[in-house]
């Protein structure tokens, strides 16, 4: 919750740890270590300008650096740890806040909010203006896809989209898009543990281009990262649809896909704990439910490690690997 302070991590070794109740026994050995999200020299700057809220993380060194706009999902609020990690690896990254927790229904966000946020990154003196990408998870991934396909004001150099879909009716706002999803609430399934499953809300994938992002118009490299056990949204089916549209437009070379078995919706930076289900506030009713995100702990954790390495390689290739990117780390 505070990237300026380390997260303490206890590592212990037990005898007979397969047996139940091993934690009640004294460990054979134990050590306390720290996990830092901000590398030495990374600067954290609060952003509240031109109507945009968030936190900007700037790498150490003279720069200029490539930039990223970093967006999380439908839970809302300001989450900084991924941007802090990205800045620690040489990217000026804006952790963007675009609504408060539980207020998606009343946020009334316009498309221009995200274009303005992108420009704040692009226009920063420490950023190479033609080397700015977008990184989104869940709802943030949907917005990234929408911006890449339809914005006439910004041109992302590349996009990373994690666990998103392509449902975004033409002319709608974030709020109105969410209201259309609410109309499909009857498709919610509830399992034996009273966990809510939302993946069917966006199914079947529409063939009507007015009901979704037209991926044929995307002109930047895209990396789609999805879990095959995502129980929150039909991310894999949407990725298949995006791939089909880009293929029809002759743009296969712009698309890279990563799919992970037994992996759920919340694919985060590595060593983040896996939560198969968590409490969630439904914006339309303010009801607190337990959402099923999916995934099994070991394969999901492996996917977070593997995808992070490949995400960093993708960003390096498209934001750094050019004679025009002359950042000095």
How many CB atoms are closer than 10 A to CB 60?
Answer: 14
Question: Closest by alpha carbon to 293, among 315, 271, 269, 263?
Answer: 263
Helix (H) or strand (E) holding 224: strand 222-227
Question: Closest by alpha carbon to 295, among 275, 310, 312, 272?
Answer: 275
Reduce the DSSP state of residue 278 to 3 states and report it. Answer: strand
Q: Is 265 a catalytic site residue?
A: yes
Q: Is 253 a catalytic site residue?
A: no
* Alpha carbons 68 and 59: distance in angstroms, whole number: 12
User: In sequence order, which ranges of the chain are alpha helices (DSSP H)?
Assistant: 81-87, 111-122, 139-150, 174-182, 235-248, 297-315
Annotated catalytic residue, options 230, 241, 283, 318: 230
Annotated catalytic residue, options 265, 274, 300, 318: 265
Question: Closest by alpha carbon to 127, among 43, 66, 57?
Answer: 66
CB distance 274 to 264 below 8 Å: yes
Q: Is 138 a catalytic site residue?
A: yes
Reduce the DSSP state of residue 191 to 3 states and report it. Answer: coil
Annotated catalytic residue, options 88, 93, 138, 307: 138
- DSSP secondary structure string, 36-95? -SS-TT-EEEEEEETTEEEEEEE-SSS--EEEEEEE--TT-S---HHHHHHHTTT-EEEE
* Alpha carbons 32 and 34: distance in angstroms, whole number: 7
Task: Classify residue 269 by burial, with Cβ atoms within 10 Å: 0-12, 13-18, 19+.
Answer: middle
* Alpha carbons 272 and 269: distance in angstroms, whole number: 6
What residues are labeled active site? Answer: 138, 230, 265
């Amino acid at each position: 919750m505070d990237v300026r302070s380390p997260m303490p991590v206890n590592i212990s070794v037990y005898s007979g740890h397969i047996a139940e109740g091993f934690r009640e026994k004294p460990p054979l050995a134990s050590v306390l270590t720290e996990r830092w999200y901000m590398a030495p020299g990374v600067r954290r700057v609060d952003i509240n300008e031109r109507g945009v809220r968030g936190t900007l993380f700037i790498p150490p060194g003279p720069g200029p650096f490539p930039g990223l706009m970093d967006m999380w999902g439908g839970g809302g609020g300001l989450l900084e740890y991924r941007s802090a990690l990205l800045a620690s690896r040489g990217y000026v990254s804006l952790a963007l806040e675009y609504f408060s927790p539980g207020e998606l229904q009343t946020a009334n966000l316009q498309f221009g909010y995200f274009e303005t946020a992108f420009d704040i990154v692009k226009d920063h003196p420490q950023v190479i203006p033609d080397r700015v990408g977008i990184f989104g998870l869940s709802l943030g991934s949907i917005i990234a896809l929408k911006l890449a396909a339809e914005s006439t004001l910004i041109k992302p150099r590349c996009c990373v989209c994690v666990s998103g879909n392509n449902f975004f009716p033409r002319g709608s706002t974030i709020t109105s898009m969410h209201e259309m999803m609410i109309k499909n609430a009857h498709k919610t399934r509830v399992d034996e543990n009273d966990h809510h499953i939302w993946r069917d809300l966006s199914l079947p994938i529409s063939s009507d281009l007015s009901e979704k992002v037209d991926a044929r118009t995307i002109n930047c490299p895209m990396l789609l990262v999805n879990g095959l056990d995502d129980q929150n949204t039909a991310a894999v089916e949407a990725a298949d649809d995006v791939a089909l549209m880009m293929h029809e437009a002759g743009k296969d070379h712009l698309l890279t896909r990563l799919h992970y078995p037994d992996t759920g919706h919340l694919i985060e930076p590595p060593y983040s704990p896996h939560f198969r289900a968590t409490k969630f506030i439904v914006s339309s009713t303010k009801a607190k439910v337990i959402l099923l995100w999916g995934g099994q702990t070991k394969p999901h954790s492996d996917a977070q490690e593997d995808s992070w390495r490949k995400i960093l390689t993708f960003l390096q290739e498209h934001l750094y690997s050019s004679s025009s990117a002359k950042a000095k780390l």
